[in-house]
Structure 1
Amino acid sequence: MKFKHSHKNQLNSHKQKVQNWRHKKFTKRIKFCNLRFLYFSIFFNKIKHICKILKINF
């Protein structure tokens, strides 16, 4: 019984390691995408602002 339990724990810890690794990769990707999105939104807001000045509506 105890042996099975410990084996299960080992499996779980391995799963967690893999999940953590995937999570790290994923968060890196998300951070990258968020940065790109941030730049894009700033850029877009500037364009909108210029268009407002020029009396152009989106």
Structure 2
Amino acid sequence: MLEIIGIEEIMADYKLKRAQATNYLNTKGCPVLPRKKHEPYRVVRHKFEEWMENQKVK
């Protein structure tokens, strides 16, 4: 089963401030699920974790 998380979980898991988490979520290639303007960010946890690991390498 896929676990969908939002910005609050990302902030808690990675100890980020809202602005930092938003920057990651707006980065090209981030696996954010489709959303309309002003809708909450949603990502599949394992895909976001994999993406974040690749960001640390660069």
Whether these two folds match at TM > 0.5 is no
Based on CA coordinates, which of the two structures has the bigger radius of gyration? Answer: 1
The structure where strand makes up a greater share of residues is: 2
TM-score normalized by the length of structure 1 = 0.28
TM-score normalized by the length of structure 2 = 0.28
The structure where helix makes up a greater share of residues is: 1
